[in-house]
Chains A and B, each alone.
Chain A
Amino acid sequence: MGYTIHPTDRAPSGVLADGPVAVMTSQRNTASADFVQATMRRLLTTRLERAMRSWRRSTRSERHFHFAYEHVLGTSLELRVTAVRECAAQRAEAETLAEIDRLALVLSGWSSTSELALWLATHDADVPVSAELAEVLHASARWREQTRGAFDPAAQAILDRLRGGDTDDAFVHAPGAALRKPLWLVDRGAGTARRLTRRAVTLDAIAKGYIVARAALRARAVEGVVDVLLNVGGDVQHYGEHAVVGGVADPIAAAENAPPIAVVRLRNAALATSGGYRRGFLLDGRRVSHIVDPRTARPAEQIVSASVIAPECTTADALSTAFSVMSARESVAIADSLGDVGCLLVEADGRITTNKSWDDRAVTARP
Chain B
Amino acid sequence: MHDRPFRTPPHDPLDRRGALARLATAALSLTGLTAFRRFGAEATRIAAPKWDDRFELAVDLEIAPQQGYRYHRPYVAVWVEDAGGRPVRTLSLWVNTSGRGPRYIRELRRWFSMDRDQEDAGGPDIISTVSSATRLPGQYTVTWNGRDDRGSVVDQGNYRVVIEAAREHGSYQLMQQDLTLTTKPVAADLAGNEEIGRVRVEYRRRK
Given A256-B142, A265-B125, A279-B133; 10 other pairs, CB 8 A cutoff: A63-B102, A68-B96, A231-B130, A231-B131, A253-B207, A257-B108, A260-B111, A276-B133, A279-B136, A366-B124
B133 touches A251 (CB 8 A): yes
Interface presence of B141 (CB below 8 A): yes
A74 to chain B, nearest CB (A): 6
Q: B residues engaging A (CB < 8 A)?
A: 58, 63, 65, 68-73, 91, 93, 95-96, 99-104, 107-109, 111-112, 116, 119, 124-138, 140-143, 207
Interface presence of A236 (CB below 8 A): yes
Residues of B within 8 A of A263 (CB): 111, 127
Would you mind naming 13 contact pairs between A and B with Cβ atoms under 8 Å apart? A67-B96, A68-B72, A71-B71, A86-B99, A235-B131, A236-B129, A246-B130, A257-B143, A260-B111, A260-B130, A278-B133, A307-B131, A366-B112
- Chain A residue with the shortest CB-CB distance to B141: A255
A66 touches B133 (CB 8 A): no
Residues of B within 8 A of A160 (CB): none
A307 to B132, CA, bound (A): 8
B173 to chain A, nearest CB (A): 16
In the A-B complex, the 9 residue pairs with the smallest Cβ-Cβ separation, listed nearest first, are: A249-B132, A275-B133, A234-B132, A68-B73, A68-B95, A255-B143, A245-B125, A233-B134, A90-B99
B130 touches A249 (CB 8 A): yes
Residues of A within 8 A of B72 (CB): 67-69
Residues of A within 8 A of B128 (CB): 80, 229, 244-246
Residues of B within 8 A of A277 (CB): 133
Please indicate which of the listed interface residues A76, A275, A277, A305 has the most CB atoms of chain B within 10 Å of its own CB: A76
A251 to B131, CA, bound (A): 11
Stretch at the interface among A7-15, A122-130, A151-159, A266-274: A266-274
Q: Name A234's contact: one of B69, B131, B207 (CB within 8 Å).
A: B131
Residues of A within 8 A of B140 (CB): 256
Q: Name B73's contact: one of A70, A246, A365 (CB within 8 Å).
A: A70
A272 to B134, CA, bound (A): 9
Q: Produce 1/0 per residue, A342-367, CB < 8 A to B.
A: 00000000000000000000010110
A278 touches B70 (CB 8 A): no
Given A255-B141, A255-B143, the answer on whether A69 and B130 have CB atoms closer than 8 Å is no
Residues of A within 8 A of B107 (CB): 257
A340 to chain B, nearest CB (A): 17
- Tally of A-B residue pairs with Cβ under 8 A? 161
A253 touches B136 (CB 8 A): no
B68 touches A71 (CB 8 A): yes
Q: Name A273's contact: one of B58, B73, B125, B133 (CB within 8 Å).
A: B133
A93 to B73, CA, bound (A): 14
Residues of B within 8 A of A63 (CB): 102
A80 to chain B, nearest CB (A): 6
Interface presence of A247 (CB below 8 A): yes
Residues of A within 8 A of B143 (CB): 253, 255, 257-258
A263 to B109, CA, bound (A): 12
Q: Name A256's contact: one of B70, B93, B100, B111 (CB within 8 Å).
A: B93
Residues of B within 8 A of A208 (CB): 134
Interface presence of A75 (CB below 8 A): yes
